[in-house]
Amino acid sequence: MKVLLVYPEFPDTYWSFRHALKFEGKRSPFPPLGLLTVSALLPDSWERRLVDMNVRRLTDADIEWADIVFASAMIVQKESLEKAVERCKARGKRVVVGGPYVSTSAEKLPDADHIFVGEAETTLPEFLTDLERGEPKPFYQSPERPALTATPVPHFRLAELKRYSAMSIQYSRGCPFSCEFCDIIEIYGRVPRTKSNGQVLAELDALRATGWRGLVFIVDDNFIGNKKNVRLLMPDLVEWSESHGRPFSFITEASVNLAEDDALLEMMRRANFRRVFLGIETPVEESLKEAQKGQNTRRNLLDSVRKIQSYGMEVMAGFIVGFDNDPEDIFDRQINFIRESAIPLAMVGLLTALPDTQLWRRLKKEGRLLKESGGNNVVTEAALNFVPRMDTTRLLEGYKRIVSTIYSPAEYYKRALDCLSHLTEGPEPRRGRLSSDVAAFARVAIVLGVLDSARMEFWRYMKSTLTSHRQNFAHAVTLAAMGYHFRKLTRSFVE
C-alpha cells in the first residue's frame, strides 16, 4: 500500500512568518507533526510520501503514485484542504481526513471517503482493521481521549528538514483551564495527558539522529498544564541536553502561572528554553473574567512577563480585542501594555468564535453568530464572525491602529532592544535562527538596510545591538527579520 500524506497550505498571516523565513532560505516554520505521527501508526510495510504544501507543490504525479491519501488540517487551512481533497478524489483515490478542523467543524466538512474526529491513536487501528477486511466506515470518532504512552516516535525523516526553521515535538495534550474562546479544551479536554520522560527523550534522540541542530518547538498548547509531570520531566531533559552538548534550543507555549514557579523556570533555563508564548489576551480584568481566563487575573501580568524574561527567555504573547467588556480606551491600553512588557512578537487578533467552543455556543444562543470562522483572526472585517458589542467600524479601526503602531519600525525596534536587555541569562550564548548563515544576514542587511523605507531605523537598531547586546547579535537580526514580516503584512491590509 502506498500512502500519500498531504498537509494543506496556510494563508499568509502573521503566524506564517513567510516574509521572515525567506531571509534564511526556509519555506515553513516547522513540519506537520500530526502527519509524521500518523505515519508512525501505519503498518511498517506501507510505502510513505509526505507532501507539505507549504514547502512544495502537490503534483499530479504524487497523487497518481498513491493508493490512499491521508490529509490533516487546521481550520485556517480549510480552503487548501478542500481543493486538495477534490484533486485526489477526481483521480479516484481513497481520501482520509482528520485533524483539528474536522474534529470541531460545525459546518461543511470536506468531501472525503473517511472522516476522523478526535485523536488517531484509537481510531486509526480500527480503520486499518476494517480496511484489511474490505469494510472501512465513512466516519470514525475516538470514544475516549487516549493515554499518550502508546504514541509512537514521529517519522521525522519523512520531512524535508532543510526547508524548515524548526522541528517540533509534543509532550502533552489538554489544558486545565476553561478559556471561553479556546477550542483546545474541546478537542483535547481539560485533563492534560503527557508522554513519559522516556518517550520525550526517545523523540529527541530520533531528531538528533536526523542531523537536526537548532530550534525545537514543544507544541503543547500549555506545556505546564500538568505541572506535576513537567517537574518530573525537566531534570531528565536538563541532563539529556547537557550530556549531548545542548544540540537544541527549545520554545513552547505556557500559561502565565509559569511565572510563579522559580524552580521550574530555572530548570527550563538550564535545559535551553529560549522563548515562551503566553496567552495574555488583554490587560482589562473585566474582559479576562468574561473570557473565563481567571488564571490571568490572579497576578500582575507585567510582573509575570518580567519574571519569565529574567530567566533569559523571550516572551512572545497573544492579545485579543473585541471582548464584550472592552472599554473605549482598550486600544491605547493594549498598545501601552505591549510597550511596557518589551514583547517584540506581540500577536494581536480580533476575537473570533471558533466552532464548538463555549464562545461559539454562547453567541449562537444570543443570536450574534454570523458565520463559521475562517481561523484567521488577524486581518480585516472578514475575520469577525459575530456581532460585537462595540461598534464594528470603531473596533476594526482601533485594531488596525494597534497593529500599525506596534509594528511601526521605531516602536518595534525599541521593544526588540528592550527585549534583548533581558536575555542575558542562559547556559550558552543565544543563537538565533540566522546565526550560522552569513548569506542570510547579508539578505537582511540588503532588504532592511538598503531597500526598505525604514532603513535608518534598522541601522540605528543594529548599532545599539552591537554597542549593548553584542552577545545576542544573531537573535537581534532574527527579530529584525520577524519585524519586517509583521510590518509587510500589516501594510497589506491597513493601507
pLDDT tens by residue, 200-258: 999 999 999 999 999 999 999 999 999 999 999 999 999 999 999 999 999 999 999 99
Quote the pLDDT of residue 432: 45
HEC readout, the chain: CEEEEEECCCCCCHHHCHHHHHHHCCCECCCCHHHHHHHHHCCCCCEEEEEECCCCCCCHHHHHHCCEEEEECCHHHHHHHHHHHHHHHHCCCEEEEECHHHHHCCCCCCCCCEEEECCHHHHHHHHHHHHHHCCCCCEEECCCCCCHHHCCCCCHHHCCHHHECCEEECCEECCCCCCCCCCHHHHHCCCCEECCHHHHHHHHHHHHHCCCCEEEEECCCCCCCCHHHHHHHHHHHHHHHHHCCCCEEEEEEECHHHHHCHHHHHHHHHHCEEEEEEEEECCCHHHHHHCCCHHHCCCCHHHHHHHHHCCCCEEEEEEEECCCCCCCCHHHHHHHHHHHHCCCCEEEEECCCCCCCHHHHHHHHCCCECCCCCCCCCCCHHHCCECCCCCHHHHHHHHHHHHHHHCCHHHHHHHHHHHHCCCCCCCCCCCCCCCCCHHHHHHHHHHHHHHCCCHHHHHHHHHHHHHHCHHHHHHHHHHHHHHHHHHHHHHHHHC
Q: Is the pLDDT of residue 383 over 80?
A: no
The span from the CA of 295 to the CA of 280, in Å, is 10
Quote the pLDDT of residue 439: 74
pLDDT digits (tens, 9 = 90+) for 260-282: 999 999 999 999 999 999 999 99
Identify the residue with better confidence: 298 or 435.
Answer: 298
Quote the pLDDT of residue 381: 58
| Over residues 456-477, mean pLDDT | 93
Identify whether the C-beta of residue 194 lies closer than 8 Å to the C-beta of residue 172.
yes
CATH class of 166-406: alpha beta
Q: Domain locations in the chain?
A: 2-141, 166-406, 438-494
pLDDT digits (tens, 9 = 90+) for 119-146: 999 999 999 999 999 999 999 998 889 9
The span from the CA of 449 to the CA of 245, in Å, is 35
Quote the pLDDT of residue 434: 47
Quote the pLDDT of residue 373: 80
User: Which CATH superfamily groups domain 2-141?
Assistant: Cobalamin-binding domain (3.40.50.280)
Q: Is the pLDDT of residue 433 over 50?
A: no
The span from the CA of 54 to the CA of 77, in Å, is 11
pLDDT digits (tens, 9 = 90+) for 7-46: 999 999 999 999 999 998 999 999 999 999 999 999 999 9
The span from the CA of 71 to the CA of 485, in Å, is 28
What mean pLDDT, rounded, does the chain reach? Answer: 93
Quote the pLDDT of residue 109: 77
Identify whether the C-beta of residue 316 lies closer than 8 Å to the C-beta of residue 277.
yes
All residues at 6 or more sequence positions from 61 whose CB lies less than 8 Å from its CB, including other chains? none
Q: What's the pTM? A: 0.94
Query: Which pLDDT band holds residue 449 (cuts at 50, 70, 90)?
Result: very high
Query: Which pLDDT band holds residue 379 (cuts at 50, 70, 90)?
Result: low
Q: Is the pLDDT of residue 306 over 60?
A: yes
The β-bridge relationship of strands 193-194 and 172-173 is antiparallel
Quote the pLDDT of residue 371: 87
Query: Which pLDDT band holds residue 50 (cuts at 50, 70, 90)?
Result: very high
Quote the pLDDT of residue 105: 75
Quote the pLDDT of residue 446: 95
In a 10 Å sphere around its CB, with 0-12 CB exposed, 13-18 middle and 19+ buried, how is residue 203 labelled?
buried
